[in-house]
Structure 1
Amino acid sequence: MTNDNSILQSILSYSKSQRIGIVLLFTIIIICQGFYFFCDFKTFDDSGKDKANWLANQSVIDSLKLLDKNYKPKIYPFNPNFITDFKGYKLGMSVAEIDRLLAYRKQNKFVNSAEEFQAVTKVSDSLLKTMSPYFKFPDWVKNKKEYRSKYAKNEIPKTEKIIILDINEATKEDLMKIYGIGDKISDRILEQKSKFGGFVSMEQMNDVWGLSPEVIERLNKHFVVKSTSTIKKININNASVKELSQFPFFRYTLAKEIVIYRSMNGDIKIEDLTKIKGFPVDKIKIIALYLEF
């Protein structure tokens, strides 16, 4: 009670203007609190209504377009050979008609006229009448006669007769006429021929560095081995180690093995070649043509 009296005395001790200010302050606080509790501060978004109205209007416009008899979707010229499922559906074709066309195209066949298109797809006359004005075929289909006469007269290349030459008599110029053989490779072929005195088989082209299988195939079409009179033959039973080692297919180690085998078993016959240590068996048929027994 004493505390309440002291508070009251302290308030009464304020001046009149101070007491009025305190009362006004409490009044303002009460008004603000009431405004906060009783007023709705929610914001309203009208964009949803606008969007809904716009969509509704657009639907009306679309439906009016469909009802308008004069409105037609624009169709551009197209090649009927490349109609897709979606394109065929838009043009009014049934699934079965589209499938017939796609099955025909899978056979790598083409329709070249509206009549052929109908024969393949079995579309009705009415649908063909609406579609065919937009068919666009290649120029050569439209002007077959013109293209045939053009190619018959001017464009069909004449088959050039291949002249087959002896590889052992071929010059550098002859070799360079083959597509894929240039200056250096032609020199390598002639150098290889010089080592042996001549080739005994076209298989020896595989030993020329830089010749691809495709170029070797072209060589085989234009050259063959005809004459072998110039080749350098070596007597395997009389030649020394040095003479044997100078033969392109032999090395010094193999030359020694040949002489050792010869000294231990007598004269070498062609069937003995496979018994010699280190002998290149894979080339025995070619090597044998350079040897004398």
Structure 2
Amino acid sequence: MKSHFQFTNQQRNGIFLLLAIIIGLQCVYTFVDASNKEIPSHNEMVDAFRLELDSLRLVAIEERKPKMYPFNPNYITDYKGYTLGMSNVEIDRLHRFRERDQWVNSAKQFQEVTKVSDSLLAKISPYFKFPDWVTNPKPRRSFNNYIVDNFSEEADPRDGNTLSYDQKIDLNKATTYQLQKVYGVGEKLSDRIMTYRNKHKGGFIADVELLEVYGLAPEVIERIKNQFTVKTPRVIKRHNLNTATRDQLVTIPYIDYEVAHHIIEERTLRDGFKSLEELTKVEDFPINKIEIIKLYLHL
């Protein structure tokens, strides 16, 4: 053991120096604070990135929110009323009101009928969209309507007996001579009927197309229908009124792009048409041609 603790002066100095270095480094590690050293940073750039992230987060939140589009409150369904925040009682009040064939024409009247709160009305009423004929009424243009359904059913002694369907002659196969046997149909009118029939491959679609023949009076059309009817109608493509696009609608006679746009707008407000007769509520719709237009549509 003694040999291990016997050092020369030079060795002792080396040991003391090593201990001094160790103690000095330990003191530096313990007492010197290196955390106060400034780390260079680009604060403006960081703030810019933070603002951009916040804006993107807000956009994402808005996109996740359910979107509300303008709608006609007269056609609120149970599901739509629930999504708007209406109670079942309030929805039922509206449905009972509509069952009496009455219409809500303003936000105030909507509240009177449904009894919704002021806060809910303020939230949903900005999205109410009523048809132009309600919000901006204007006189309808007058038309010379010659619709067969409005004709008088009073018998005319010159009409002759009305034949059964089997006894009637197919209008698409009738000759001018047969047509001229009808009282009021002369050579000119029979030629016009034949010209209209030949203009379309396959002839007439239905009896109502006789309204399209120039010069045929309502009573003459009735006499023709007593003796003739369309048994082999022309094949046409019919479109679903509730799904047809604007380009499909304009292929129908008497419907241009403007009327097609109004039809789609009215369809959106009503959440779909319930009958073809509702087309008469469409702005600028050619009411006097509805019987012809209905031949090309279905629900």
> What is the TM-score with the length of structure 1 in the denominator?
0.35
User: Whose RCO is larger (CA < 8 A, sep 6+)?
Assistant: 2
> What is the TM-score with the length of structure 2 in the denominator?
0.34
Between Structure 1 and Structure 2, whose CA radius of gyration is higher?
1
